[in-house]
Amino acid sequence: MNKQEAADFLGVSVRALERYVQQGRISVRYEKGKTRPTAHFDSSELEVFKTELEQPSYKPAVESRQIATEQQPETDKPVLYTGEISEFGEISVVDKLSSIIEALLGKTENQPSVPIGDKLLLTLAEAQALTGLSKEILRDAIAQGKLKAKIIGRSWRIKRSDLEQYIATLF
């Protein structure tokens, strides 16, 4: 049988048949043709393979999940989910998404979070949130020399005392 006949016999596409050959699930023999080699498949091997394809495959209805217990050793890696499992064995979507977002943002319990009001150095976004002024006003003040700031890394840093002095000059 050629490729198209074998694919029709199995009830699959020619591309699927080629993948089965690549995976080694079916053997193929190439014979010299007029313009290029042609693939030939053994009909008895295809019959055996067709019965294998027609075998029903069973997948579990519920995926198994490993629930953390006190007996398991703790690691230093951040835990993506620490919430409760509901009565039906499903983790709520909101809890799952929020734990993933917190892990991606790096908000783990090991990292201290300092409120903006207690920081000594502020970014432009933090200065904007603290004062209510726009970033453009703050950038213009830095460019005109009215507000002292320095680039540290890739962003501007403003000392809290300098920001307070600038705000005092506005009123």
Q: What is the pLDDT of residues 65-76, one digit of tens each?
A: 555 555 555 555
The answer for residues whose C-beta is within 8 angstroms of residue 143's C-beta and 6 or more apart is none
Q: What is the pLDDT of residue 72?
A: 52
In a domain? residue 147: yes
Q: What is the pLDDT of residue 66?
A: 56
pLDDT in tens, 102-135: 777 765 555 567 777 788 899 998 899 889 999 9
**What mean pLDDT is reported for the chain?**
80
Q: What is the CATH number of the domain that holds 145?
A: 1.10.1660.10
Mean pLDDT of 55-64: 68
In a domain? residue 89: no
In a domain? residue 34: yes
Range of the domain at 147: 116-170
In a domain? residue 7: yes
**Domain stops at, among 11, 27, 54:** 54
Nearest-angstrom CA–CA distance, 28 and 21: 7
Encoding tokens for residue 49? 């393979």
The per-residue DSSP string of 122-158 comes to E-HHHHHHHH---HHHHHHHHHHTSS--EEETTEEEE
Question: Total structural domains in the chain?
Answer: 2
In a domain? residue 23: yes
In a domain? residue 31: yes
In a domain? residue 99: no
